Amino acid sequence: MYSIIIISMIIFFISSIVMLLASVLSKKSIVDREKSSPFECGFDPKSSSRLPFSLHFFLITIIFLIFDVEIALILPMILIINYSNLMVWTFTSIIFIIILLIGLYHEWNQGMLNWSN
């Protein structure tokens, strides 16, 4: 029993020393301009890579990912129809599609689907 405690303490102290050494040795002392600039095959960049990001593009991307995940959840439902109870499968499918339609209505109501902006 005492040997397990001693081995555990040795492992704890060795891992603590290694983590302490890693944090001390990995400190960056100087912020280098070259390291913080983007790399383009060894050449200086022609323009700034820190362009402002379009929030509209981000929202459209998030909506696409949500619908993509929904498709990934709907496809297995088609495959398990033969192996499950028809009433339970129908109820689950209807509830899932109602939740998707409520989400679509909310996005439409918030104006997220307007592409003209």
pLDDT by residue (tens digit) across 19-55? Answer: 998 888 876 655 656 566 666 566 655 666 566 667 7
φ, ψ of residue 38 in degrees (nearest 5): -70, 150
Contacts of 13 (CB under 8 A, 6+ apart): none
CB atoms within 10 A of CB 59: 15
- What ranges do the domains of the chain cover? 55-110
Segment holding 6, helix H or strand E:
helix 2-25
pLDDT by residue (tens digit) across 57-98? Answer: 777 788 888 888 888 888 888 888 888 899 999 999 999 899
| Two tokens, residue 73 | 């959840």
> What's the mean pLDDT in 12-25?
90
